[in-house]
Amino acid sequence: MQERLKGKVIVVGGAGGIGDGLAWRYAREGAAVVLGDIDGDRAVAVAQEIAASGATCIGTYLDGGDEASIRELVDLAVTTFAVSMGSMPTMPGSTMAIRPAMSPTSRWKTTTT
Ligand SMILES: NC(=O)c1ccc[n+]([C@@H]2O[C@H](COP(=O)([O-])OP(=O)(O)OC[C@H]3O[C@@H](n4cnc5c(N)ncnc54)[C@H](O)[C@@H]3O)[C@@H](O)[C@H]2O)c1
């Protein structure tokens, strides 16, 4: 891997399926990954596996259909990795990549539920 994402922090929604694959790939590329899933135990377990491989990943509960929950996930990323929103490029794990700071909530809700 070329670690093309070194220094980036990426928030991923969904610790199964596509989200699981994205989290692994982003972490292998050097990003610090914050992985959220409505099954919080699953998110923590996947994050621990990723971290055990030598990458940086934390897992937590997320309800991707709840704006407050998304905000908590982003806040966790910001406080854990001391980044500003400008350093967080996408909210993947849904049907499209989303920039939380730039997408209207109405659009974000339709792409995450
Ligand atoms: N798999 C595909 O080929 C494909 C293609 C195009 C679009 N999609 C879409 O991408 C999304 C993810 O697909 P997938 O195959 O990874 O699904 P999946 O069912 O394998 O994984 C979904 C993960 O999201 C978690 N989850 C469910 N509801 C959640 C919520 N409200 N908040 C947080 N986490 C939640 C589940 O616990 C699970 O771990 C779906 O919306 C799907 O329709 C999938």
- Write the DSSP string, 6-29: TT-EEEEE-SSHHHHHHHHHHHHT
- Bridge partners, residue 36, by sequence: 13, 60
Convert the pLDDT of each residue in 83-104 to its tens digit: 766 545 445 555 444 455 555 5
In CATH, which superfamily holds the domain spanning 9-112?
A: NAD(P)-binding Rossmann-like Domain (3.40.50.720)
Convert the pLDDT of each residue in 19-50 to its tens digit: 999 999 999 999 999 999 999 999 999 999 99
Predicted confidence (pLDDT) at residue 18 exceeds the cutoff of 80? yes
Dist. CA 93 → ligand 1 center (Å): 7
Dist. CA 41 → ligand 1 center (Å): 16
Between 99 and 58, whose confidence is greater? 58
Between 66 and 104, whose confidence is greater? 66
Atom index in ligand 1 nearest the CA of residue 112 equals: 41
Dist. CA 47 → ligand 1 center (Å): 17
Q: What pLDDT is recorded for position 83?
A: 77
